[in-house]
Amino acid sequence: MAVSGSVIARWCTPPSSFLGRRFDSPEKEKKPSSSSSSWTVGTSGNRITSLFWEFRRKSNSTQIQQQQQQQQQLFTLTAPPDPNGTNNNKVISVSVVSSISDVAAAEWDACAVDATGPGKFNPFVSHAFLSTLESSASAVAQTGWTPHHVVVRDESSSSRAVVAAVPLYLKSHSYGEFVFDHSWANAYYSYGARYYPKLQCCVPFSPVTGPRILLRDTPFKHEIFDILLSAMKDIAVKSQVSSLHFTFPTESEWNQLSKKGFLPRIGMQYHWKNRNYKKFDDFLMDMKQSKRKNIRQERKKILAQNLIMKRLRGYEIKETHWDSFYNFYRNTTDNKWGTPYLTREFFHELGSKMGDQVLLVVAEEGDELVAGALNLIGGDTLFGRLWGCHPQAYYPSLHFEACYYQAIEAAIELDLKTVEAGAQGEHKIQRGYLPVTTYSCHYLVDEEFRRAIEDFLIRETSQVNLVMKMLHDSGPFKEGIW
C-alpha cells in the first residue's frame, strides 16, 4: 500500500527534567506560528499524514510517564481506490500505554502470532508472560522497568483493532537485559551527561531472540513498521532520554533497524540442535569420543547420589513446587550477588497462565525437592531460563543434568528442533551446545556519542565473529557435524 500526504504534528510534551543535558530536537521540525497549534513537516516521495499527537489522560506516576504514557498520534495511510472506486485509506493511531493490561490479551497475541507464524509462536512475547511480569511486581517502575508499550490501532474499523504492538520499557538501569552497555553509561557520566533513563524494547530478564515489533499480517504492515520506528525515535527525543534499544530482536528486524539509523550489535549464545534424534544416545554418537565419555560420566553421578529427575508440565506442577523453586532461584541470585527481580507471585502466576508451555525439571532426594530448572516451550524450541538448588547442599554435575541433559531429552521426546540454554557459559560447548549469533540495535540521540559507540561496535563485531569461528572449529562434534 502506498502512503501519501504530509506530516502534521502537534506536540504537547514539555521538556524532561531527567537528563542533565538537553539533546536538540531534529532540525527538520519547525515551530508553529502564533496563529496555529500545529505545524507541517514535508517529506519527499511517499508521505504520511499525521493528524495529531496529544494526551488522552494523565498518569499519576513519574514525570516522564506523565509526558509520554497514554498519548495518541494519528496517521492516514493513503492508497489508490480499488476498481470499484472504494476508498482504501486507513487511519491508524499510535499510543503509549502504561500497562499491557490496557490491551486485550487476544489482540496482543494475534500480533505476536502473526509476527512469528503460528508454528513458531514465541511465549516470551505473549500477553500471558509479559502481563505476569507486571502483575507480579517484577517488571514495574519500582524495579526500574516502567512499562511504556506502544500500540497501533486501526481507527478505520469500528472495533479499533490492534494491528501492531511493541513491548517497551523506560529503564533507570541496565540490569536484567543481557546486552551490556554499562561502559556506555560510564562514558556519558564522564562527560557530564546522563545515560539513564533510556528506552528498552525487550522482554525483561529474558535473553531470548524473538520479534520485538509485533505486526498483524495486513497489507500495510510495512508502512506501520516505518511509522512505529519514527514514532519511537520521536518519543526518545521528546522525552529527553539518552537512547532507544532493541535487544534480542530477530535477524530480519536487526537488518531492518540497521537500515533505519540504529547501530547494529551482535552477541553470542549457545544452542543445541536436534538432528532428528530419536533418543539421547543418538545425540551422543555424534559427539567426539572424549566428550561422549564425559557426558556419560556426569550423568552417572546423578544416579550415584540417589537423585531422581522429573520433568513436570502444566497441572503436574503444584504450588509447593513453585514455592521450592522460588527459594532455589533466590539462592542463585544471592550467591551471584544478583538482584531477585522475579517475585514468588511471578512463578505461581506463570504456571497458572501458561500451562503446558511451562516445563519444570526437578531433582528429588528422597521426599525432598533439592533443585529445579525452569523452561518454556514455544514453536519448535525449548527455552531454558532459570536454575537453582537447595542452599545447604552441593550435588556434583546436577546443574548440567537439570539444565542441559534433561532439556535435550525433553526436546527429543517432544520433537523440538532447538534448545536455547540462555546467556553466556562456554562450558555448554562440550555438552553439545554450539555458539550462535544474537542481535541488538541501538539508537543514540546524541550524535557525538553515536559516532563513538558505532566505532566501538565495529571493532567488537570483528572480535565476536573471530571467537565464534574459533569455538566452532574446536567444537565437540565429530568432523562434518555442526
Q: What is the pLDDT of residues 42-80, one digit of tens each?
A: 333 333 333 333 333 333 335 555 555 446 889 998 877
Q: Where are the beta strands (DSSP E) in 110-262?
A: 145-147, 149-154, 162-166, 168-171, 198-201, 214-215, 243-247
Give the H/E segment covering residue 216.
none
pLDDT of residue 32: 35
Closest CA to 215 of 92, 82, 68, 78: 92
DSSP 337: T
Residue 229's CB is within 10 A of a number of other CB atoms, namely 20
In CATH, the architecture of 275-416 is 3-Layer(aba) Sandwich (3.40)
Say if CB 2 and CB 220 are below 8 A apart.
Answer: no
Residues of the chain with CATH 3.40.630.30: 7-268, 275-416
What would the grid cell of residue 146 be?
516502567
Q: b/e per residue, 463-480, with b = 16+ CB within 10 A? A: ebeeebeeeeeebbbeee
pLDDT of residue 443: 98
Asked whether the bond before 81 is cis by omega within 30 degrees of 0, the reply is no
Beta bridge partners of 154: 92
Cα(184)–Cα(195) distance, integer angstroms: 8
CATH topology of domain 7-268: Aminopeptidase (3.40.630)
Low-confidence ranges of the chain (pLDDT < 70): 1-71, 85, 337
According to DSSP, the β-strands at 71-77 and 49-55 are antiparallel
Give the H/E segment covering residue 465.
helix 447-473
According to DSSP, the β-strands at 243-247 and 198-201 are parallel
pLDDT of residue 45: 36
Residue type, 342: L
Q: Which residues contact 233 (CB under 8 A, 6 or more apart)?
A: 244, 261, 443
Tell me the angle at which helices 105-116 and 127-135 cross, rounded to the nearest 10 degrees.
Answer: 130
Say if CB 230 and CB 3 are below 8 A apart.
Answer: no
pLDDT of residue 71: 65
**Distances in Å between the alpha carbon of 474 and those of 143, 290, 317, 425, 477?**
41, 13, 40, 16, 9
What would the grid cell of residue 297 be?
560420566
